[in-house]
A = this chain, B = another copy of it.
Amino acid sequence: MLIREFAGADWPRVWPIVEEVVVAGDTFVYDPGLTAESARGLWVEAPPGLTVVAVDGDRIVGTAKMGPNRPGPGAHVSTASFMVAADARGRGVGRALAEYALDWAGRQGYAAMQFNAVVESNTWAVELYRRLGFSVVGTVPEAFALPGGKRVGLHVMHRFL
């Protein structure tokens, strides 16, 4: 598996992954009515941010975006988001993308990485981030509505670089 910079021609193969994750509605605070057009604006970062794809053979199996978490006085802290195709999970794609983002952010000179809204029931992501050195700074209670309507917390997670 290879991770490389996103190119415009990748979008038709990245959008189905984004759509699948957003429609599932259990991990991202994105509008479920997102279109391919609006999702592209949200997912494909302009510099100083970066969007990448994970390629397995000739298939795109995952994607990540990374960049400053906030402008101005907060721009020394990075953030990143990761999505993996449902049928490619459990093979280390998410971990490889997260390690790529951490390495990238360190090389860019960021002081830390922060995730603003990790769904607490997404234990796969929470555990991965913990193994990568992140800790939960706090949990906003009942801030995320799962598809059935049940509300769970959103973790703010952080690590220095």
How many whole Å from A68's CB to the nearest CB in chain B?
10
Would you give 6 A-B contacts (Cβ < 8 Å), ordered by A?
A29-B74, A77-B140, A112-B142, A138-B138, A141-B158, A156-B156
Further 16 A-B residue pairs, CB within 8 A, beyond A74-B154, A138-B156: A28-B73, A29-B70, A29-B73, A32-B72, A69-B143, A73-B145, A74-B117, A74-B144, A76-B145, A77-B143, A111-B151, A112-B142, A137-B139, A137-B141, A140-B156, A141-B160
Chain A residues near B (Cβ < 8 Å):
22, 25, 28-32, 69-74, 76-77, 111-112, 114, 116-117, 136-146, 151, 154, 156, 158, 160
A158 to B137, CA, bound (A): 14
A74→B119 CA distance, assembly (Å): 10
